[in-house]
Structure 1
Amino acid sequence: MMQRSLLLALISLVFAGAATAQAPQQQSQPDWPCRQVRVPELAVASVWTGPPLDDAMKHWREDQTIGDLVVRLSQRRTPIDEAERLIAQFAKSSADRRKQRLTTLFAGVYERMNDERRDVVNGLDRFGRRLKAMAEKAREETQTLRDLQDQKPPDPEAIKKASEALQWRLRLFEEQRRMVGYVCESPALIEQRFGALARAIQQAME
């Protein structure tokens, strides 16, 4: 059975780590588990200096070629160098309508990747809520173990079972917490790819 002092030290370490991971979160978003600021929408104005997108946003799905290309460009399994090649080919095939069609293409890429980022951010909120629920359950089990250890006379079998349950809970919590740094990179990766595609599309307009 884990000694009480060691168990309490482990609990403190795990919960301190969770607090550190969530320290900069916004007060209005208490479930957000990441160090990064919660930004669910892509900032199109920071990467796009081309024509207005209002009309293109309404009609990009009507062009099957553009729709298919939007899917390929948005998928992370398509390497950026291949995406740039596809954009250049599309620009060349668009002839005198190049600027208009590239604007429509960008509108599709923006909408699709913005939806993806929003879904990822919402998923991270759910992940944060799950971490909080796991931490609260561990706190409850910690208190149960303390109460059992303080009983006179103590019940060794009950203490053993409670300790084993808590150790399992803490291991599970720590495994999930270690994932935070990795999963929190997803919105930034989407934004980086979006920026690279925006630059490639605008360069193809020149």
Structure 2
Amino acid sequence: MARMSLVRSLALVAMLAPGVNAMAANPDPDWPCIQRKVPQLSLGQIWSGPDLPSAAKDWSNDPTISALVEELAARRIPIAEAQKKIRDFAASLPAEQLAPKMAMLVQGMFDHMDAERSQVISGISRYAHKQLEMAAALRKEASDVDALR
């Protein structure tokens, strides 16, 4: 009898464990997506090249690179056109400036895209939060209507 109770308890724990893990993986109640919320990326997650020099972080101080980042990051630009602009930019640089300027371009593109991605993620969270508020308001109204009956 005690053995059956133990087996049932273990079976119950095994069935509930995936749900507990799923809840632990998503600590943000406003995040409606199945995928885990990752609000910020690191360059190492997408860049397999060598570490960028610290000077690459100053990309926004270079007007040419700043303008190119804005142009390349536009969603309307086709990939082939963006690649051509990058090749043309690289070809226009003197040899001693090629590596540092291209590193700045990589850092600039990453910073711009990560900021844009963060805005989208914030928008999704705001939308989901408003949906939850609206659902709560509708439940309250339904409860009020039921109380009037």
Superposed structure 1 runs of 4+ greater than 4 Å apart: 23-27
What whole-Å deviation, never above 9, does each CA across 1:18-74 have from its counterpart, x for those lacking one?
Answer: xxxxx8794420111222221111242132123323523431122111110000111
Q: Map 1:58-69; keep pairs closer than 5 Å.
A: 58-69=57-68
Q: Map 1:31-42; keep pairs closer than 5 Å.
A: 31-42=30-41
Distance 1:27 1:40 in 2: 12
CA contact (8 A) 1:60 1:108 kept: yes
- Partner in structure 1 of residue 93 of structure 2: 94
Identity %: 36
CA contact (8 A) 1:53 1:103 kept: yes
Distance 2:100 2:53 in 1: 12
1:78 to 1:105, Cα distance in 2 relative to 1, 3 A: same
CA contact (8 A) 1:25 1:33 kept: no
CA contact (8 A) 2:53 2:103 kept: no
**Gaps (5+ residues) in structure 2?**
1-21
Q: Deviation at 1:84?
A: 0.8
Distance 2:132 2:61 in 1: 44
Q: Deviation at 1:81?
A: 1.5
Distance 2:103 2:23 in 1: 37
1:41 to 1:102, Cα distance in 2 relative to 1, 3 A: same
Out of 105-114 and 89-98, give the one that drifted further: 89-98
**AA in 2 matched with 1:35:** I
**AA in 2 matched with 1:110:** F
Distance 1:70 1:145 in 2: 55
1:131 to 1:109, Cα distance in 2 relative to 1, 3 A: same
What whole-Å deviation, never above 9, does each CA across 1:132-190 have from its counterpart, x for those lacking one?
Answer: 100001111111222233xxxxxxxxxxxxxxxxxxxxxxxxxxxxxxxxxxxxxxxxx
1:57 to 1:114, Cα distance in 2 relative to 1, 3 A: farther
Distance 2:123 2:84 in 1: 32
CA contact (8 A) 2:30 2:126 kept: yes
**Gaps (5+ residues) in structure 1?**
1-22, 150-206
- Partner in structure 1 of residue 111 of structure 2: 111
- Partner in structure 2 of residue 70 of structure 1: 69
CA contact (8 A) 2:32 2:125 kept: yes
**AA in 1 matched with 2:136:** E
- Partner in structure 2 of residue 138 of structure 1: 138
Count of equivalent residues: 127
1:74 to 1:24, Cα distance in 2 relative to 1, 3 A: farther
